[in-house]
Structure 1
């Protein structure tokens, strides 16, 4: 846990803070050896090591929350229905969080993409 992430979450309305705190805990279980960081002004998790790539980030907005696997190719590969999606993320609300199975599938797809060399130069 980082102070920056704690500060980000503490500034949110109660319902968003609770939902993203729960998401954070679930991501920590799925990514136990990853570094918790702020990237692109959102909390997230980076691979271990000095050149670790971002795996996933999450954020709160006025009318929704979002999960972003830091790749434009992950979300289009996954059936995220009934949630709204963009090319880079899946949107949800505090009263309708992402199911564990969907969250696990997004993380597994992103990790497979990174293992295959996505983002290496």
Structure 2
């Protein structure tokens, strides 16, 4: 298991399943992504650069596309979700829609030039 797998294995089953779905969508869009870390969190990386990171906390789950521009580009499709400068927060009961996750990964990948 890699960094992402190790992190997910330590989570509660519902959190693990929700974040695994994010990872599955991301790797479907970016099959060359590799597990690693970025900014101290588990991340998928492309060409050695961070594509997306994920974390779990007691109140929510987060996806980090490491880009305020990417979050801004999908914000209209995430009404009611908690958004930060480079963060999309969601819950097990209210996941980020797959099509929005796919756009996040495509947009971030385009920023990375890959």
TM-score past 0.5 threshold: yes
**1:74 partner SS:** helix
Higher relative contact order (CA 8 A, sep 6+): 2
Give the number of equivalent residue pairs: 112
Q: Unmatched 5+ residue regions in structure 1?
A: 117-121
Structure 2 residue 44 is the aligned partner of structure 1 residue 71: no
Q: Deviations over 1:10-66 (max 9, x none)?
A: 211121111112222221111101211122232221113xxx321111111110001
User: How does the TM-score come out when normalised to structure 2?
Assistant: 0.86
**1:7 partner SS:** helix
What's the Cα RMSD here?
A: 1.7
Deviation at 1:77, TM superposition (A): 2.3
Q: Deviations over 1:54-102 (max 9, x none)?
A: 1111111110001111122221222222311001111111111111111
Structure 2 residue 32 is the aligned partner of structure 1 residue 33: yes
> What is the 5 A alignment of 1:1-121?
2=2, 4-48=3-47, 52-78=48-74, 79=76, 80-115=78-113
For residues 104 and 24 of structure 1, the distance between their equivalents in structure 2, rounded to whole angstroms, comes to 11
Q: Unmatched 5+ residue regions in structure 2?
A: none
User: How does the TM-score come out when normalised to structure 1?
Assistant: 0.82
Q: Which has the higher strand share?
A: 2
Please tell me whether Structure 1 or Structure 2 has the larger radius of gyration of its CA atoms.
1
**1:73 partner SS:** helix
